Amino acid sequence: MDSAVAKARFNLTIHSFPADPIVPEVCQLIYGIKDKNLIATLVSVPYHVGRTFSWEESSFFHEQLKTLGVGHSLVSNDPSVQSMSYSPHHAPSKIDSGDGDKPRNKQFPNSLPLTEAKKWARFAIFAAACLAAYGVLHLSTRFGKKEQTGLKTASQHETTIEKLIDRVEYRLSQDLTWSEAKVNVGLDSGDAIRTFDESTAHLRYQEGSLVIVRPKTLMVIGKPEPSRQTISLEDGQVQARLRSSENSQTLRIKTPVGTLDMKSPKKGETAEARVDTSVSKGRIEVAVTSGKVSLTPATGDQKSIVLTSNQKIVGEINSLSPIVEFHPTVALFQPKNDETLTINPQENESLLFEWENISDDAQYIFEILPESTSKEPLLTRETREPKLILTYLDLGNLYWRVTAKTSSAVFISETRPLHVKKRNN
């Protein structure tokens, strides 16, 4: 395998299913779990999976999806590396591995027997009729409600998109398709939001709570209750922040593995409660930076566990690890990981570095390093803003990191590689 293939990443898109019973199998294949909300999302094709895959992973998914008869494409981010695709009505394409591998001998049927074809033709006609009927009803409903929903202000929605980083999509509860997310779009019960590689969404609730939807995440807005908001985290990671308040507010985070309940702290206890929750392939991880949260496993035969500040727990449906100490981190936004910047050394540049806004009282220490393990930085800047603009950087391979300090905690980012090259005019 040559270096281009080894470095290539592939975006997976599902285009068609041979039958409804196959959808849960694909859900299990991609996400490692058969969850009803994920299954409902997968049905809406074309479905773009919110993460990228290596060549080895892509080859595995390609073969498995072909075996299931699922139409799909795996598109490489490197134009020099051939992509993969399969349609039940066409011969599957092959990936050019670049190392002289022989074509695979395994063949898959490209056509159905006549009786099967007739059966699927009838099914297609029936499905088209249902979709047409739904479309008429859906459009009349949408246009009938459009004027009313257009009158809603941000405060009338359960939550509003406050900030976006890179491409994010959302789907209203009554819609079949996903739309590109925009700042100030309001979301309500049943609406879903999904992020992709390197993308993030900030959702602000009416009472001030903030939910940060991390990259490669699928989340659904739950039905609100008095003094409590609910979200369903189907796959990925979210960070929830509840401000201190005289009137207690609760956020419930439902996952396939368990349910979390976190309360806003009382005035004078701490500025906010902050909890990170991630779910992937039947595994959950909960990390509490500040405040308190209870985790109730989905099986029901295990007792709820309470975590407090600087504590973390991981587990699966049938087992949870002991509580361990947690060291909070700060997420870096841009430049992206391993990104290359081009500059003119003879001119002043405007090089933007941006990271997560920890809190209003945070003090950030920004550092440029010659090596990932260096203790002596080449450059250090302090700021109270979650961003910094530099006018010059040395050419070569560098690293950068950010440390955030608040009255209650210290947050340390990853050390991210950066390449600076001379611009060719």
Measure the CA–CA gap between 92 and 94, rounded to whole angstroms: 7
Report, as an integer, the average pLDDT of 80-92: 77
For strand 228-243 and strand 250-254, is the pairing parallel, antiparallel, or unpaired? parallel
Ranking 72-86, 261-275, 343-357 by mean pLDDT, the lowest is: 261-275
Q: What is the phi-psi region of residue 310: left when phi exceeds 0, alpha when psi lies from -120 to 50, beta otherwise?
A: left
pLDDT at 181 over 50: yes
Ranking 91-95, 212-216, 375-379, 420-424 by mean pLDDT, the lowest is: 91-95
What pLDDT does 293 receive? 93
pLDDT at 148 over 70: no
| Whether the model pTM is above 0.75 | no
What pLDDT does 137 receive? 46
Which residue is associated with the tokens 């039958």?
19
pLDDT at 143 over 50: no
pLDDT at 230 over 70: yes
Report, as an integer, the average pLDDT of 6-18: 87
Report, as an integer, the average pLDDT of 163-167: 91
Q: Give residue-wise pLDDT tens across range 281-308.
A: 888 999 999 889 999 888 767 788 999 9
What pLDDT does 248 receive? 79
> Which amino acid is residue 273, in one-letter code?
A
What pLDDT does 30 receive? 83
pLDDT at 145 over 50: no
What pLDDT does 349 receive? 87
What pLDDT does 134 receive? 47
The three-state DSSP-derived secondary structure of the chain is: CCHHHHHCCEEEEEEECCCCCHHHHHHHHHHCCCCHHHHHHHCCCCEEEEEEECHHHHHHHHHHHHHHCCEEEEEECCCCCCCEEECCCCCCCCCCCCCCCCCCCCCCCCCCCHHHHHHHHHHHHHHHHHHHHHHHHHHHHHHHHHHHHHCCCHHHCCEEEEEEECCEEEECCCCCCCEECCCCCEECCCCEEEECCCCEEEEEECCCCEEEECCCCEEEECCCECCEEEEEEEEEEEEEEEECCCCCCEEEEECCCEEEEEECCCCCCCCEEEEEEEEECCEEEEEEEECEEEEEECCCCCCCEEEECCEEEEEECCEECCCEECCCCCCEEECCCCEEEEECCCCCCCEEEEECCCCCCCEEEEEEECCCCCCCCCEEEEECCCEEEECCCCCEEEEEEEEEECCCCEEECCCEEEEEEECCC
For strand 416-422 and strand 387-390, is the pairing parallel, antiparallel, or unpaired? unpaired
What pLDDT does 149 receive? 42
What pLDDT does 151 receive? 43
Ranking 96-100, 172-176, 240-244 by mean pLDDT, the lowest is: 96-100
44, 37, 84, 35: which is closest to 61 by C-alpha? 84
> Is 253 within 8 Å of 233 (Cβ atoms)?
yes
What pLDDT does 264 receive? 86
- For residues 115 and 284, the model is more confident at 284
Report, as an integer, the average pLDDT of 366-382: 93
What does pLDDT average to over the chain? 81
Structural domains present in the chain: 3-86 (3.30.1390), 155-325 (2.60.120.1440), 332-422 (2.60.40.10)
Q: Extract the tokens encoding 222.
A: 């739950």
Measure the CA–CA gap between 65 and 17, rounded to whole angstroms: 10
> Which amino acid is residue 272, in one-letter code?
E
What pLDDT does 127 receive? 53
What pLDDT does 125 receive? 53
